[in-house]
Structure 1
Amino acid sequence: MILSIVIPCMNEEETVPLLVQRIVAATEPWADSREIILVDDGSTDRTWDVISQACESVPTLRGLRLSANRGHQVALTAGLEAARGERIFMLDADLQDPPELIGDMMAMMDRGYDVVYGRRLSRKGETLFKRATAYVFYRLLNTLSDAKIPNDTGDFRLVNRRALDAVLLMPEKSRFIRGMFSWVGFRQIGVEYVREKRVAGETKYPLRAMIRFALDAVTGFSTRPLRLATRLAFYSLAITFIMVLYAIGSMIFYQTVPGWSSMLIAISFFSGIQLLTLGIMGEYLGRLYIEAKGRPLYFTSEEVGFDTVSETKQKNQ
């Protein structure tokens, strides 16, 4: 049985040496049947050089370099498509998710589970804002989503070949991989752990990236925001009726200038409703546009450690 370890990297030159050291130690029981795949997502520092050097000292280490930065989820997809194992272990390069947990995850999979995901009990070294928004995000997503995604989980998980092949059949460009694994089903279970501080470098998910990621998650797994427009129409009718009563009452009892209140409230309220509705429709339309173009998800420019080193190639999934 081959065990594949897939790790996307973006400007992680400081963390890669320690990452490789801990991965090699954590997967020592499978040393003869493992492959470690590090995917360089268009880094602008020396990440690729560090990966190439590590491949020289660790025979089972492989490096895959994307031709440009395509984002964490695409880089992870590239590694998953390159993985050859019957079991595939995913984690981030920042070492906030402990690779040493693989032993417990493998034991759970031996009991017949197809997906074993890590569930965060707490988050060390993260701001109150980050913890609060993450808490709200997962619960809001499950309220809106048609597929139930476990709360407080990430892409840190162990999956078998059956579950991975099912996910790789999904061709969408705006990818939310943890949601995709939840959607395909099969037997899944969580393993709880405490998320550590980032060992070095800076987070690759600033606020803007987090908002985009959240929009991809919601629009990829729910059509409920589209239905919100219909509900808003009914709510606006009710509020309009209340505004009419208010305007009439103002003219009778307070002798205000006729029309000012009703006009101001009506314009503000309905403008807001229209802009919100257009924004929701625009998010879905934008994703339809991206899907319709049918562009390849990524290109690779270099490989090290694989059996054959190919020229630049495209992946269509």
Structure 2
Amino acid sequence: MISVILPTYNESGNIRKLIELMFEEVPAPLEVVVVDDDSPDRTWEVAKKMKSVYPSIKVLRRVGKKGLTSALRDGIKIAEGNTIVWMDADLSIPPSKIPELLEKIIEGYDMVIGSRYVAGGGTVILEKEDDSLVLAILSFVLNLVIQKILDPSVHDYTSGFVAVRKAVLDQVRLKGDHGEYFISLTYKAIKNGFRVTEVPYILGSRSYGVSKTGTRWWHYFLKGFNYLIVAFSMLFYRGTEKRK
């Protein structure tokens, strides 16, 4: 079974279409795990109503608990799939790319990253968003620096779009927030001997609502310092971690 985890907060305008696309694009058997941080727009309720059409949907409403990484950890705990996928729930990532990630899992890879920075990947630049070009450049440069610090075989250390075998997550615990957790997971997977590869995708814009991760260049610049601290800390990691 494939489990797709969707961490959500105020995504009621996107979640219905995204779930419909999931069941159209991703091969069965499939379960979709929506982990919602008690959204004021009641995203969790919209997702629950869809269970009548798609019974394999699971909805976890977290009251008094917030955060991307903890949402992913909670989703992983209840996911039943041997392969787990997660991605943003704002329709900026095309669900049609998920089968390409899964093909690499079938080929024998343990972790397949949806990458903006390999041939065929990219980011849509929107003129209406003044900082979108600057953000794209900052993200590219940051990932280039992290690539030089850590393992050069990976190009997108802050992707957040991935298919990974449950065995990897049984050994490597998600730590940090936003991009930090993905840097840590990727490098630790490599150091523990898991096979990691990338598949290109083009990051679009969210279809509805406002970004929760910051849309201004200075905000991303500040986060970048934390990403670099995590990257340098990984140099002391020697593997053999066991998730608790």
Which category of TM-score, normalised to the shorter sequence, fits these structures?
A: 0.7 to 0.9
- Rounded to whole Å, the distance in 2 between the matches of 1:149 and 1:67 is 39
What is the match of residue 189 of structure 1?
Answer: 197
* CA gap 1:218/1:129 in 2 versus in 1, 3 angstroms: same
Following TM superposition, by how much is the alpha carbon of 1:213 offset from its aligned partner in structure 2, in angstroms?
A: 4.2
Equivalent positions of 1:133-148 (< 5 A) are 133-143=138-148, 145-146=149-150
> Which residue type is aligned with residue 106 of structure 2?
D
* CA gap 1:82/1:149 in 2 versus in 1, 3 angstroms: farther
Moved over 6 A (4+): none
2:51 paired with 1:52:
no
In the alignment, structure 2 segments of 5+ residues that lack a partner are 127-131, 235-242
Provide the secondary structure at the position in 2 that maps to 1:134.
helix
* CA gap 1:148/1:43 in 2 versus in 1, 3 angstroms: farther
**2:172 aligned to which of 163, 167, 170:** 167
What is the match of residue 254 of structure 1?
Answer: none
- Rounded to whole Å, the distance in 1 between the matches of 2:50 and 2:153 is 35
Following TM superposition, by how much is the alpha carbon of 1:57 offset from its aligned partner in structure 2, in angstroms?
A: 2.5
Provide the secondary structure at the position in 2 that maps to 1:68.
coil
CA RMSD of aligned residues (A): 2.5
Q: Deviations over 1:194-230 (max 9, x none)?
A: 2222111111111476356434433333249xxxxxx
> Which residue type is aligned with residue 182 of structure 2?
R
- Rounded to whole Å, the distance in 2 between the matches of 1:77 and 1:149 is 26
| 2:11 and 2:209 in contact (8 A); partners too | yes
Identical counterparts, % of pairs: 25
Which structure has the greater CA radius of gyration? 1
The alignment of Structure 1 onto Structure 2 pairs a total of residues equal to 219
Following TM superposition, by how much is the alpha carbon of 1:156 offset from its aligned partner in structure 2, in angstroms?
A: 0.6
Following TM superposition, by how much is the alpha carbon of 1:151 offset from its aligned partner in structure 2, in angstroms?
A: 2.6
- Rounded to whole Å, the distance in 1 between the matches of 2:212 and 2:230 is 21
In the alignment, structure 1 segments of 5+ residues that lack a partner are 225-315
* CA gap 1:149/1:108 in 2 versus in 1, 3 angstroms: closer
Structure 1 length as normaliser, TM-score?
A: 0.62
Following TM superposition, by how much is the alpha carbon of 1:182 offset from its aligned partner in structure 2, in angstroms?
A: 2.7
Q: Deviations over 1:96-133 (max 9, x none)?
A: 11111122222211111111111112211451111111
